Amino acid sequence: MHPTQATHATQPLLPSPATIAALPRTPPLNTTPALPTTPALATVPALPITPALATVPALPITPALLTVPALPITPALAIVPLLAMTPVLVSHAGSVLCSIVRRDIRSTRHAALTATGARSYSGARNLAHARPVRTPIYLQVMLLNELTDGIEIDQVLLVRESERRQRRDGGDYLRLQLGDRTGAVACMVWEELAEVEELARAGAPVRVSGRYTVHPRFGPQINLRRLQAAAPGSFDPGDLLDGPAREVSQMEGEVRELLQTIQETHLRVLLERVFAEDSQLWARYRVAPAAKYYHQAYRHGLLEHSLGVAQAVSTISATFPGIDRDVAVTGALLHDIGKLEAYTEDPQHIDLTDAGRLQGEIALGYYRIRRMIEDIEGFPPELAQAVGHIILSHHGALEHGSPVLPCTREATLVHMIDNLGGRLGSFDRLEKELAPGRRWSGFDRAIGAGAFFAERGGEEAEVEERPAPAREAA
């Protein structure tokens, strides 16, 4: 055997206990009687305690950690913070604490919603797999045209329509149409229908929690998670209701200016009886909607639409010969007056009245003006016939609701401008519904195509057809 091999063979692999006992002990290990030195540790000096660890007993256990039931602190850990608070344990403690805090936030938020005492509906079918709605601290109310597929919402919307329908299996479901000033979105309710019908009446603001999705066939929808009555003061009514682009006072002034240009005495008297500032008819005219769906379907919409038609008729009358301007402007201001009786007065729920459904706005408008003309002494019959013909024919076709076709220059002009005003009003509606940056709308049956807005910029988008209500005449 080689001498060096003999030397290594006779030397022990580990220091003797006496040698270990002679080693100086560092203060931290000297002061931890709760961890007795085991023989295994005594024979392995190859795991030295570094000066950094030896001199940093300073990872204090805060009272919060000591009082959390989910993190029991054993006596050994309480006495030896040096060895207990390793990075792994610190990371684990932090994640558990975060879980507890998130759980407490959700519990507190649920308790707060329950404590309001407001009527509510929870979509039990979807709750099992639903993600929690964002907490109010992070929530920013967005308009419908700003929402993107998959986003969670918790905000107040207006119930436009509420209709109970039948499923294929024979059961019922409820189809809601919810909206704000930029458009509307469908929402299906499958359970607790009676409670939801009572809560979500047409025209009522409701707080909606759920997920906004875009179905490839049926378009935008809300997968409902919770529905509550909207608390007063929790929303801005201006976010829910659309309105004209111009100030009402400005439009009223322009109507007065237009009336001053009518030269024919009897027509001037007729218009003053309708538009006098103290007239009850004027009070209703100035706030009435122009339609239910397609154009100017909001408060003051009739004033905006009729004024625009009358101003255009007044201008074009000077271009084409043979047009009686006074008759044409009078007919333009009065052509839709039947809508005062044909539509409801509630701006939050525009719908047809019984008279509107049974008689139609054309007949209602004609008979109202006919009665007013009969009360004006000496009103020329041919003048009454000319104005009445404009009202009766302004839809332009029998299939669109007019009992007669336009047969005079004045009636043809009013019909054409009325139709143009309705079409351009549909472009205004479609532009308000577009998401920021988009230039193309979906297919719209009111204009028979998708609308393009070049000035908006953005990328080109595919034009897709979307469901639309039955045709509504201008």
Averaged over 110-135, what is the pLDDT? 44
CA 21/CA 33 separation, integer angstroms: 16
Alpha-carbon span 416 to 317, nearest angstrom: 13
pLDDT band at 211 (very low <50, low <70, confident <90, very high): very high
Mean pLDDT (whole number) for 303-311: 95
Backbone angles phi, psi at 463, to 5 degrees: -85, 120
Quote the pLDDT of residue 294. 75
Question: What pLDDT score was predicted for residue 46?
Answer: 47
Mean pLDDT of 31-56: 45
Question: Rounded to an integer, what distance in angstroms lies between the CA atom of residue 444 and that of residue 462?
Answer: 13
Residue 227 token pair = 């529905």
How many H helices and E strands in the chain? 21, 8
The per-residue pLDDT for range 60-95, each reduced to its tens digit, is 444 443 444 444 444 444 433 433 444 444 444 454
Say which residues have a Cβ less than 8 Å from residue 463's Cβ, sequence separation at least 6: 440, 441, 442, 443, 449, 450
pLDDT per position as a tens digit, 135-144: 443 346 789 9
Helix (H/G/I), strand (E/B), else coil: 176: strand
If pLDDT is split at 50, 70 and 90, which confidence band does 20 have? Answer: low
How is 84-100 classified by DSSP, letter by letter? H--HHHHHHHHHHHHHH
pLDDT of the residue at 259: 96
Residue 293 pLDDT > 50: yes
Which pLDDT does position 415 carry in this prediction?
Answer: 97
Angle, CA of 239, 245 and 246, to the nearest 5°: 125
Q: How confident is the model at residue 375 (pLDDT cuts 50, 70, 90)?
A: very high
Q: What value, to the nearest 5°, has the Cα angle with vertex 374 and ends 368 and 376?
A: 110
Tokens matching residue 117? 């005492």
Kindly indicate the confidence band of residue 266, based on its pLDDT and cuts at 50, 70 and 90.
very high
* Residues listed for the chain: 474
Which pairs count as long-range contacts for 370-374, CB under 8 Å and 24+ apart, including other chains? 372/270, 372/273, 372/274, 373/270
* Mean pLDDT across 165-192: 91
pLDDT of residue 366: 97
User: For the residues of 312-380, what is the DSSP string, one character each?
Assistant: HHHHHHTTSTT--HHHHHHHHHHTTTTHHHHB-S-TTS--B-HHHHHT-HHHHHHHHHHHHHHTSTT--
Residue 110: the pLDDT is 41
Pairing outcome for strands 152-166 and 205-215: antiparallel
**pLDDT tens-place string over residues 312-371:** 999 999 999 999 999 999 999 999 999 999 999 888 888 899 999 999 999 999 999 999
Q: What are 392's two structure tokens?
A: 């009766």
Is 80 exceeded by the pLDDT of residue 147?
yes
Highest mean pLDDT among 85-94, 319-328, 421-430, 465-474: 319-328
pLDDT digits (tens, 9 = 90+) for 274-286: 999 999 999 999 9
CA distance 384 to 373: 7
Kindly indicate the confidence band of residue 31, based on its pLDDT and cuts at 50, 70 and 90: very low
In this prediction, residue 16 carries a pLDDT of: 61
Task: Tell me what pLDDT residue 248 has.
Answer: 94
Count of CB atoms within 10 A of residue 443's CB? 15
Do residues 120 and 229 touch, judged by C-beta distance below 8 A?
A: yes
Q: In whole angstroms, how far apart are CA 289 and each of 37, 87, 285, 336?
A: 89, 68, 9, 10
Residue reference for tokens 């472009």: 427
Residue 44 confidence class, pLDDT cut points 50, 70, 90: very low
In the chain, what percentage of residues exceed pLDDT 70?
67
Judged against a pLDDT cut of 70, whether residue 399 lies above it is answered with: yes
Q: Give CA–CA dist 85/78, Å, rounded.
A: 10
pLDDT of residue 121: 63
The most confident of the ranges 70-74, 196-200, 428-432 is 196-200
pTM above 0.75, yes or no: no
Residues 6+ apart with CB under 8 A from 258: 307, 310, 311, 314, 329, 333
DSSP 29-75: HHT-TTSPPPHHHHT-TTSPPPHHHHH-------HHHHH-TTS---H
Instruction: Tell me which of 329 and 461 has the higher pLDDT.
Output: 329
Q: Could you give the CA distance from residue 298 to residue 347 in angstroms, rounded to a whole number? A: 6
Residue 18 pLDDT class (50, 70, 90 cuts): low
Res. 245 pLDDT band, cuts 50 70 90:
confident
Among the residue ranges 40-49, 119-128, 444-453, the one predicted with the least confidence is 40-49
Of the ranges 99-113, 122-136, 304-318, 424-438, the best mean pLDDT one: 304-318
More confident call, 66 vs 210: 210
Average pLDDT estimate for 248-268:
96
Q: What is the pLDDT of residue 292?
A: 85
Q: Which of 470, 473, 466, 448 is nearest to 183 (CA)?
A: 466
